[in-house]
Amino acid sequence: MKSKNNQHFETIAIRTQTARSQFGEHAAPLYLTSSFVFRDAQHGSAMFAGEEEGYLYSRFSNPTCDEFVKKLCLMEGAETGISTATGMAAVFVTLASLLQQGDHFIASRSLFGNSLHIITNILPKWGIEYTLVDISEQEEWKKAVKPNTRLLFIETPSNPGLDLIDLEKATDLCKSNGLLFCVDNCFATPYLQKPIEFGADIVIHSATKYLDGQGRVMGGAVLGEEKWISKAYEFLRRTGPSLSPFNAWVLSKSLETLAVRMDKHSENALKLAEYLESHEEVDVVKYPFLPAFPQYELAKKQMKQGGGLVSCDFKGGRERGMKFLDALQMISLTANLGDTRTIATHPASTTHSKLTDAELAKAGITKGLIRFSVGLEHIDDIISDIDQAINASKK
Ligand SMILES: *Cc1c(COP(=O)(O)O)cnc(C)c1O
């Protein structure tokens, strides 16, 4: 996995430094400033007219934010990108800037809950139509294409069911129908999966998750070709959900350790998945790199490793799921994922509690489904907490 200038992923993540002041600091500086000073009146006039390049105002651009984006682009193999205040801002900016009134687009039903809300409740107010497709019925997707369809929006692996979408097949569908292909690559990160290499046009990130990796700052990014990103940038700089330079500085620093963290998250998650698979109180375990996973071959083809999320179904459904959570002693009950700390969530009673039983089933969520975001603690401590909670919730 080498970039055009022949550096490896890990080296790019550490050695890409675009911002450096006259002091020659070794680590990246933080440009915590709202605006930038003009040399003189003529310079200010030229900057506003767009005749001269440079920094003007941090809603538009900032050297610390640019460094984070430049590095992430090299890691994803993208031409250019923008950074946003949150992952949701990245999703909204992408769809709102690339779609027009009267357009139609297709989205996977298995998406992050708030992305679905934007698609089904906000965009229709502006006359942007959608069709949601089932993740498992990719043959049906072709039937959803209409003359005014412009775009396909997916997540793989999906949240929380961890189902995969074949990136190559989805690219074929988009290429043969002239659709823009957008992938939310939050779960895998560019270390484990590079959608652009498979033909995706736009990659979206919630940087809040693995890119930060320690549950401290919010952030997002949209990456792709200049012709699309320029539209997203125009929308961002006018409407304002821009990334804070402080958060960009934290995120740029975090990218330096993405590879080692994702290796360890994946190693711990595989060990946990193997433990759960062998437990008689557990019905189904889903983890892309378990040989028993229905899409194991596809996982091996498009992902470097399985990532940090594992889901499983305990015998006893919803009630058992909630009892299990209450019995955990170390593992956190919280809404985040991609943290150093292991987190357990029960989608049917939290993130997806508004869905009807039929909708839950369509999204691949069973009532007893527990999703683990496996952290970087010692695996024996993670397993021992889960083991005692399984036993305690049996009664
Ligand atoms: C968390 C998440 C988002 C939203 O990101 P925020 O930073 O919380 O706004 C979008 N997509 C996926 C897949 C996520 O997990």
How many Å lie between the centroid of ligand 1 and the Cα of residue 113?
9
- Ligand 1 pocket, mutate which of 93, 94, 108, 114 (most atoms under 8 A from CB): 114
Reported as a pLDDT band with limits 50, 70 and 90, residue 5 is low
What gap in Å lies between CA 55 and CA 153, rounded to an integer?
32
SS3 86: coil
What gap in Å lies between CA 165 and CA 110, rounded to an integer?
10
Instruction: Please name the residue whose Cα sits nearest to atom 5 of ligand 1.
Output: 87
- Ligand 1 pocket, mutate which of 110, 187, 208, 350 (most atoms under 8 A from CB): 208
19-56 b/e with 16+ CB inside 10 Å = b?
beeeeeeeebebbeeeebebeeeeeeebbeeeeeeebb
Q: Which residues line ligand 1 (CB under 6 A)?
A: 86-88, 91, 112, 115, 155, 159, 184, 186-187, 206, 208-209, 218, 220
Reported as a pLDDT band with limits 50, 70 and 90, residue 136 is confident
Give tens-digit pLDDT for 304-359.
999 999 999 988 888 888 899 999 999 999 989 999 999 999 888 887 777 788 87
How many Å lie between the centroid of ligand 1 and the Cα of residue 211?
11
Give tens-digit pLDDT for 147-172.
999 999 999 998 888 999 999 999 99
Ligand 1 atom with the smallest distance to the CA of 338 is: 15
Task: Please determine, for residue 365, whether its predicted confidence score (pLDDT) is greater than 90.
Answer: no
Task: Please determine, for residue 2, whether its predicted confidence score (pLDDT) is greater than 70.
Answer: no
Residue 127 backbone class (left: φ over 0; alpha: ψ -120 to 50; beta: rest): left
How many Å lie between the centroid of ligand 1 and the Cα of residue 74?
21
**Model confidence, pTM:** 0.95
Ligand 1 atom with the smallest distance to the CA of 209 is: 1
Cα 226 from chain centre:
21
What gap in Å lies between CA 209 and CA 87, rounded to an integer?
9
- Ligand 1 pocket, mutate which of 84, 86, 88 (most atoms under 8 A from CB): 88
How many Å lie between the centroid of ligand 1 and the Cα of residue 43?
39
Domains of the chain, each with CATH number or no CATH:
9-255 (3.40.640.10), 258-393 (3.90.1150.10)
How many Å lie between the centroid of ligand 1 and the Cα of residue 57?
27
Give tens-digit pLDDT for 260-274.
999 999 999 999 999
Phi, psi at residue 10, to the nearest 5°?
Answer: -60, -40
Ligand 1 atom with the smallest distance to the CA of 218 is: 7
The whole-number average pLDDT for the span 168-177 is 96
